Amino acid sequence: MPIIVNLDVMMAKRKMSLNELSEKVDITLSNLSILKTGKAKAVRFSTLEAICKTLNCQPGDILEYGDGKKK
């Protein structure tokens, strides 16, 4: 999948657990886990906004495009 999810990186930088982020963003732990592992097929802008607000970051800090080509 060309979209890479770096949610775990941002959570580590902010020293925030999955449980804590789940509570603050008001998203189920299982849905947040699916997003974190890159298995999500979509993410709502409202969810992305809440995550960015909570982690004090930009959407590009969490999501990136990778075309699969090695540099």
How many domains are contained in the chain?
1
Identify whether 41 is part of a domain: yes
Q: Which range marks the domain in which residue 27 is found?
A: 3-60
Is there a domain that residue 10 lies in? yes
Per-residue pLDDT for the chain (71 aa), expressed as one digit of tens each?
A: 589 999 999 999 999 999 999 999 999 999 999 999 989 999 999 999 999 999 999 999 999 998 766 55
pLDDT of residue 1: 56
- 35 in any annotated domain: yes
User: d(Cα 14, Cα 54) in Å, to the nearest integer?
Assistant: 10
Q: What are phi and psi of 28, to 5 degrees?
A: -65, 150
Cα–Cα distance measured from residue 27 to residue 2, given in angstroms and rounded to the nearest whole number: 24
Sign of CA dihedral 46, 64, 61, 17: positive
Distance CA 16, CA 24 (A): 10
The secondary structure of residue 38, as a DSSP letter, is T
- Tokens, residue 56: 């004090």
pLDDT of residue 2: 87
Say which CATH number the domain at 25 has: 1.10.260.40
33 belongs to a structural domain: yes
Is 48 within a domain?
A: yes
